[in-house]
Each structure stands twice: as C-alpha cells, then as structure tokens.
C-alpha cells in the first residue's frame, strides 16, 4: 500500500506539471511551454533510477532553441483513503526544480527530474460520487494500465521506461514571431511579411497560421503561404478594402505541438495618397532641403483633389565617391580669404552659410546688415564678399561637374530607394521633385521604382537639372549661372533653357530653389510670345501636371 501511495504521488506530480504546462502553452515568447518528447526518440534515458534521469533532446529542436532552459515543476500529493464515508482527500505540495540550462555541446541535459505520471482520485469505486477518472497524458508505448486490487498498476515505471516523458521548459530567447504593422492605401494590394526569427536569422519551414480580424464594416483579404521560407519569412498578400479601416492580423506558430507562439499586428488602410518626394540641390544642408520641401508643401497644399499628399524629404550630399571635397574647397577659400581685412570674416561663419545658401546679397540678410552698417572700409569688405561669392559659384560649378563625372551609385541611393519601395508597398504613387544635383539621385530613384513595381505611378519634376538625362518635365532658367555654367565645363550636356526671367532678384546664382525657382515676384516667360508668368506659378503648374499624371482629378 505504501508503494501504491508513493506511485500515486509520482503520478500526481507529473499531472501537476502537465497542468502547469497546459496553462502556459498559450503564453508569449518568454513563457514556459510544454515539451513532449515522443516515443523514446527525443528522450533517451541514461540512468533510470527512480527519480534521476538524464535526458537527450533531439538535435533539431536544440538547434532551433539554443538557449532553452528546462524547469521541472513537481508536486507531491498524498492521498488519504476514505474511511467509512467512501471519500478520501488529497494533500498536495508543489516544488520547483531547476532551471537546468542546455549548456553542453551534445544536447545532453544533465537533468535531475522528479516526475510522476498519474494521479488518481476516488476511493473506493463503490462510491460513485467520489469516483474520478484520472487525468492521464502519459504516452504509454506498451501495455495499458491495469488495475490491481482496485488501484492502478504501475504505469509510471512502464511509461518512463519507454521514454515518454512530459517536462516543462522555459524558452528564454528562442525564435520570435513578429507581425509588423503596415499601412496600405484603400483598394490597393501590398505584400506583408510575418517573420519568425532567432536573434541572428530566420527559422525556415515552420508552419504559421494567420487570421485576419477586421474591426470595421469592410475587411480586407489576406492570403499567406503555409510555411516560412528559407529566410524565416511567411509571405502574405493583403488586398485592402475600398474604404479606410484598420484590420488586425494574428499569427500563431505551432512547433510540432511543443511550442506555440502568437503575435499580432495591424494594417491601417488609408485614403488614396501620393508621396511628393524632394531631392535637394547642390550642397544644401538638411535644413535647407527641409526648407525646400516645406516650400513645396506650401505651394501645392495638403491635397490634390481627393488625394492626400504626403511630403517626404530625401536628403543627399554628393555621393560616396565625391565626399565633400568641393564643399571643403569653398570652406578653405573662406578661411584663407577671411584673414583679409583684419580677419573680420574669419570668425564670422554666418557669412559663409549665407554665401553657400544664396541670400548673401539679399536685402535684410546678415551679410547685408553687416555691410550697410559700415562706413570706411565697407567697400573693401563688399568687394571681398563679391570675390567670395564668385568663388562659391565657381566651386558649385566645379563640384557639380565633378559630381556628374562620378555620379551617385546604387550604394548612394540604397537607403532612399528602400524607403521608396516601402512607400510603394503601402500603395502610394509618387511625384518626385529634384533640384540641381538631386536630379542625378532622382533618376536612379525613378529607375529603381520602375524596376521594383511597374504598377506604381511615378512622375518627375526636374528643377535646374544637373543631369544629362531626364525622366519628366524640367525647368531651367536663363539666369541659372550654375547649370548653364556646366555647359562651359567639359563636355557635359544639360537640358535646354525653357524659362526666361526678368531681373536677378536676391539670388546671385540664379540657381537656388527658393530664391529663383520659387520666386513669385519676378516676371518670367516660357517662350518668346508666351504670356508672362512667374517662376513660382510656373513650377506650381508643373507640379499640378505631374499630380494629374499619377492621380487624375479631372474628368
């Protein structure tokens, strides 16, 4: 009898462990899960003492769970048989053993485990009110339990002997399932990836089930491959409904009934939109590029008819092959010549930035305020600033010519192209605006987008293009000293002049985006007998034309 009680205790412990596992199997990545090695293949017993076993887990599982840690949750249950009334009771004590880390190279877990398989309640069977069927998840591989003297046989030892052993394990950082939230324009299709990854790479050929849970009156349509690819990605496609909404995606990874993990993400379905991307001009700072994009937003507005416009800045300098040598040349000249006239400029780099960005001769600029406040010597300083302006202009031309001879490479456009692809995946169409050297980048971006997805509509507006080839309409002013200066610099060809401006305004280069091409105060003509316009009005019309190409509003 004592032995039987002991066996029942053993049974109760495993049952407890099973119960714990069953509860925790639905939890997240760091939660314990159940591990059920089957039929002696996954589990081999090195030492079959009553309570001490050394387990070996199959190598594949270990390979996918390199940092697995095993816990054993054990409990002791002492059964007190009924006396007279026919109903006994149970006293249970639980204890935790482990965790035991999979530290050795052979996948051997030196694993002290005290486990039990069955627990039975209910004594004696003559009292049906107390009779309970035992909870038995033990996988016996030979004979089933038999009853002896009203009590079960010893299924524990049988089962253990045949190596079917449930244990609990806690995974610390095994594969992680991730569903990235995504945006998609209404009525469009986009690919969606669900990733099953370990810290360094994905887990291939895993079955992941995916469910779409709509939250609005209309839902999208989702299809997914049944298994992850060689990179651990589950490839899915989502067709958005025709109205904005939010859909939720729930993905569940089942690992051979051993592990289960779920992840959720959302798909936000947005109204139709066009991305207006801006590629900045020669040696703009990021702030100047931002200013250019903001000016475009002011010019065009937040919408084109019913289409939302999203403004994106693609900031570039002169490419990896060129570094900033030409810009440094200009700075060097500023430093050297700044020592002239008692060195009054060498400590005033604000003048340098105005030289570079164009407003050095603009009414109200810092430089103009400096000059206007001087009496004697003012002319000499003015002449010095003129000389520096000439040097800067020459530097622009020289640098651009050098840049055109060593144009940006795929590596230079890798990051912006990746962003454009993401935006294309969201279902956006594009109007790309480029100024000066930005035209060299925009050509690569346009070609890259076309190569990626030909269904994406893209129009390009080239402003003062420092590029021999174009992908859309362009505007080049007759007074643009930088681009027209390129004609005299080697054999580079630039597009034809197609707008003639009256006067110089405050931009001595005739080249800056805001100072010349967004100038609304100057008259301009696009042909000899054409009606007068302004550079700003002309550029606005070009933008509207481009938007009509990709998101027509006119009937």
Partner 1 sequence: MKNMQTTSTRSVPILLRATGCLALALALTLSACGGSGGGGGAIFGGGSGSNAGAAAGTGTGAGATAPTLAEQIAALEQSGGYPQLDRSADIAGPDADGNGVRDDVDQWISTQPLSDSQRKALTQKARSLQNTLLVSLDDKAALQSAGEGLAASSRCGMLQFPEYSDFSKLAGKIEAMTANTRQRAERYMQYNAARSGSSTTNPRGNTCEG
Q: Which of residues 237-296 bind partner 1 (CB under 8 A)?
A: 285-288, 290-291, 293-295
Distances (CA, A) of 70 to 63, 73, 116, 541: 15, 10, 16, 69
Q: In the set 22, 23, 48, 335, which binds partner 1 (CB under 8 A)?
A: 335
In which element (H, E) is residue 545 found? helix 535-550
Q: Which stretch binds partner 1 (CB under 8 A): 48-56, 83-91, 233-241, 358-366?
A: 358-366
Chain residues 71-110 in contact with partner 1, contact rule CB under 8 A: none
Count of positions on this chain that bind partner 1 (CB under 8 A): 99
| Site string (476-505) toward partner 1, x via CB under 8 A | ---x-x--xx-xxx--------------x-
CB of 311 to partner 1, least distance (A): 4
CB of 476 to partner 1, least distance (A): 13
CB of 535 to partner 1, least distance (A): 13
Q: Which is nearer to partner 1, 7 or 536 (CB)?
A: 536
Q: Which is nearer to partner 1, 82 or 294 (CB)?
A: 294
Chain residues 197-226 in contact with partner 1, contact rule CB under 8 A: none
181 is a site residue for partner 1 (CB under 8 A): no
Q: In the set 359, 465, 472, 495, which binds partner 1 (CB under 8 A)?
A: 359
Q: Which is nearer to partner 1, 222 or 331 (CB)?
A: 331
**Residue-by-residue DSSP string for 225-289:** -SB--TTSEEEEEEE--SS-EEEEEEEEEEETTTEEEEEEEEEEEE--EEEEEEE--TT--HHHH
Largest CA distance in the chain: 122
Q: In the set 18, 300, 330, 459, which binds partner 1 (CB under 8 A)?
A: 330
Chain residues 137-176 in contact with partner 1, contact rule CB under 8 A: none
Q: Which stretch binds partner 1 (CB under 8 A): 106-114, 212-220, 235-243, 340-348?
A: 340-348
Cα separation, 182 vs 238, in Å, equals: 10
Q: In the set 106, 149, 200, 342, which binds partner 1 (CB under 8 A)?
A: 342
Distance in Å from the first CA to the final CA of the chain: 93
Cα separation, 130 vs 124, in Å, equals: 8
Name every residue whose Cβ is closer than 8 Å to that of residue 200 and which is 6 or more positions away in sequence: none
CB of 341 to partner 1, least distance (A): 3
Cα separation, 424 vs 430, in Å, equals: 8
Cβ atoms within 10 A of the Cβ of 291, count? 17
Q: In the set 38, 366, 473, 497, which binds partner 1 (CB under 8 A)?
A: 366
CB of 313 to partner 1, least distance (A): 5
Using DSSP's 3-state secondary structure scheme, residue 89 falls into strand
Name every residue whose Cβ is closer than 8 Å to that of residue 49 and which is 6 or more positions away in sequence: none
Q: Which is nearer to partner 1, 91 or 375 (CB)?
A: 375
Q: Which is nearer to partner 1, 281 or 359 (CB)?
A: 359
Is residue 511 within 8 Å of 499, Cβ to Cβ?
Answer: no
| Secondary structure in 3-state letters for 298-358 | HHHCCEECCEEEEEEEECCCCCCCCCCHHHHHHHHHHHHHHCCHHHCCCCCHHHHHHHHHC
Q: Which stretch binds partner 1 (CB under 8 A): 112-120, 228-236, 353-361, 526-534?
A: 353-361
Q: Which is nearer to partner 1, 57 or 423 (CB)?
A: 423
| Site string (371-410) toward partner 1, x via CB under 8 A | xxxxxxxxxxxx-xxx--xxx-xxx-xx--x---------
Residues in the chain: 555
421 is a site residue for partner 1 (CB under 8 A): no
Q: In the set 248, 254, 348, 457, which binds partner 1 (CB under 8 A)?
A: 348
In the block, tokens 């099973």 appear at 18
Q: Which is nearer to partner 1, 200 or 342 (CB)?
A: 342
Enter the tokens of residue 51.
Answer: 């309570």
| Radius of gyration for the chain, computed over Cα atoms and rounded to the nearest angstrom | 37
Q: In the set 30, 94, 350, 447, which binds partner 1 (CB under 8 A)?
A: 350
Cα separation, 391 vs 388, in Å, equals: 5
SS3 content of the chain, % helix, strand, coil (to 5): 30, 25, 45
CB of 224 to partner 1, least distance (A): 29
Q: Which is nearer to partner 1, 106 or 342 (CB)?
A: 342
CB of 283 to partner 1, least distance (A): 9
Kindly give the residue spans of alpha helices, DSSP state H, lying in 182-222: none
Cα separation, 145 vs 149, in Å, equals: 13
Cα separation, 430 vs 456, in Å, equals: 8
Q: Which is nearer to partner 1, 223 or 405 (CB)?
A: 405
Q: Which stretch binds partner 1 (CB under 8 A): 11-19, 64-72, 424-432, 506-514?
A: 506-514
Q: Which is nearer to partner 1, 189 or 349 (CB)?
A: 349
Q: Which is nearer to partner 1, 134 or 389 (CB)?
A: 389
Cβ atoms within 10 A of the Cβ of 485, count? 20
Angle between helices 438-452 and 414-425 (to 10 degrees): 40
Is residue 114 within 8 Å of 74, Cβ to Cβ?
Answer: yes
CB of 545 to partner 1, least distance (A): 22
Q: Which is nearer to partner 1, 262 or 370 (CB)?
A: 370
CB of 346 to partner 1, least distance (A): 8
The one-character DSSP state at 212 is E
Chain residues 297-326 in contact with partner 1, contact rule CB under 8 A: 297-298, 302, 310-317, 324
Q: Which is nearer to partner 1, 203 or 330 (CB)?
A: 330
Q: In the set 26, 90, 328, 469, which binds partner 1 (CB under 8 A)?
A: 328
Q: Which is nearer to partner 1, 203 or 546 (CB)?
A: 546
């Amino acid at each position: 009898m004592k032995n039987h009680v002991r066996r029942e205790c053993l049974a109760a412990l495993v049952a407890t462990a099973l119960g714990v596992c069953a509860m925790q199997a639905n939890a997240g990545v760091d939660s314990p899960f159940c591990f059920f090695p089957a039929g002696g293949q996954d589990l081999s017993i090195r030492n079959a003492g009553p309570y001490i076993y050394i387990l070996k887990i199959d190598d594949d599982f270990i390979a996918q769970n390199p940092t697995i840690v095993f816990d054993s949750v054990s409990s002791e249950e002492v059964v007190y048989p009924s006396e007279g009334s026919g109903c006994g009771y149970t006293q249970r004590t639980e204890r935790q053993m482990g965790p035991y880390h999979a530290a050795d190279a052979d996948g051997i877990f030196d694993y002290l485990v005290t486990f039990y398989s069955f627990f039975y309640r209910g004594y004696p069977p003559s009292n049906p009110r107390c009779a309970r069927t035992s909870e038995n998840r033990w996988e016996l591989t030979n004979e089933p339990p038999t009853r002896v003297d009203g009590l079960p046989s010893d299924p524990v030892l049988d089962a253990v002997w045949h190596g079917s052993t449930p244990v609990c394990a806690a995974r610390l950082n095994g594969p992680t399932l991730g569903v990235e939230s995504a945006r998609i324009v209404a009525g469009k299709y986009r690919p969606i990836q669900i990733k099953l990854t370990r810290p360094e790479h994905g887990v291939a050929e895993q079955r992941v089930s995916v469910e779409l849970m709509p939250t609005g009156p209309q839902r999208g349509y989702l299809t997914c491959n049944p298994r992850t690819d060689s990179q651990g990605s589950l490839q899915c496609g989502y067709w958005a409904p025709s109205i904005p909404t939010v859909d939720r995606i729930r993905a569940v990874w089942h690992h051979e009934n051993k592990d289960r993990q779920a992840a959720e993400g959302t798909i936000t379905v947005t109204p139709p939109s066009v991305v207006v991307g801006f590629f900045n001009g020669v040696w703009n700072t990021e702030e100047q590029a931002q200013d250019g994009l903001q000016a475009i937003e002011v010019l065009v507005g937040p919408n084109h008819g019913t289409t939302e416009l999203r403004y994106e800045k693609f900031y570039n300098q002169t490419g990896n092959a060129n570094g900033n040598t030409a810009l440094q040349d200009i700075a060097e000249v500023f430093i050297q010549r700044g020592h002239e006239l008692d060195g009054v400029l060498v400590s005033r780099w604000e003048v340098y930035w105005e030289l570079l960005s164009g407003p050095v001769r603009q009414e109200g600029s810092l430089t103009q305020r400096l000059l206007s406040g001087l009496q004697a010597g003012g002319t000499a300083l003015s002449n010095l600033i003129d000389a520096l302006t000439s040097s800067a202009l020459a530097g622009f031309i020289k640098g651009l010519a050098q840049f055109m001879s060593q144009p940006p490479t795929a590596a230079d456009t890798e990051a912006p192209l990746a962003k454009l692809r993401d935006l294309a995946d969201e279902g956006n169409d594009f109007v790309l605006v480029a100024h000066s050297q930005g035209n060299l980048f925009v050509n690569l971006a346009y070609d890259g987008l076309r190569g990626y997805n030909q269904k994406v509509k893209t129009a390009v507006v080239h402003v003062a293009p420092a590029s021999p080839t174009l992908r859309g309409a362009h505007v080049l002013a007759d007074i643009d000293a930088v681009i027209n200066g390129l004609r005299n610099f080697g054999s580079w060809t630039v597009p034809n002049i197609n707008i003639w401006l009256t006067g110089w305004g405050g931009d001595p280069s005739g080249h800056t985006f805001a100072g010349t091409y967004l100038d609304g105060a100057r008259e301009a003509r696009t042909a000899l007998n054409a009606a007068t316009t302004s550079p700003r009005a002309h550029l606005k019309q070009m933008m509207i034309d481009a938007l009509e190409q990709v998101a027509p509003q006119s009937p």
